[in-house]
Amino acid sequence: MEKMLKVKVFVDRMSQPSRAVLIFYKVNGIEFDEIKVEISKRQQLSPKFTAINPFRKLPTIVDGRFKLFESHAILIYLASAFPSITDHWL
């Protein structure tokens, strides 16, 4: 049996959009791996992060080979992708 990979969530907790995405994950019981990217240290400008998100913005998620950035798009994706999430989030 193949193990499901957790969604990687790149965030800086000082960022309100990042906090909104983290809260959504936690409230809905979605497992994820939080990867901290410190905006104050300009880590979002690193070549490693730019390869993940060419816009260099947070939050960003990586779900397998699928990458998504922009908090509203991430929240819509999560509300649609996980059947356990109730429709009122949409």
State the residue for tokens 């960003």: 60
Selecting among 15, 40, 46, 84, the annotated active-site residue is 15
Instruction: Give Cα separations from 56 to 40, 61, 80, 81 (angstroms).
Output: 13, 12, 25, 24
Residue 18 annotated as catalytic: no
How many whole angstroms separate alpha carbon 28 and alpha carbon 41? 31
Peptide bond into 59 cis (omega under 30): yes
> Which residues form the catalytic set?
15
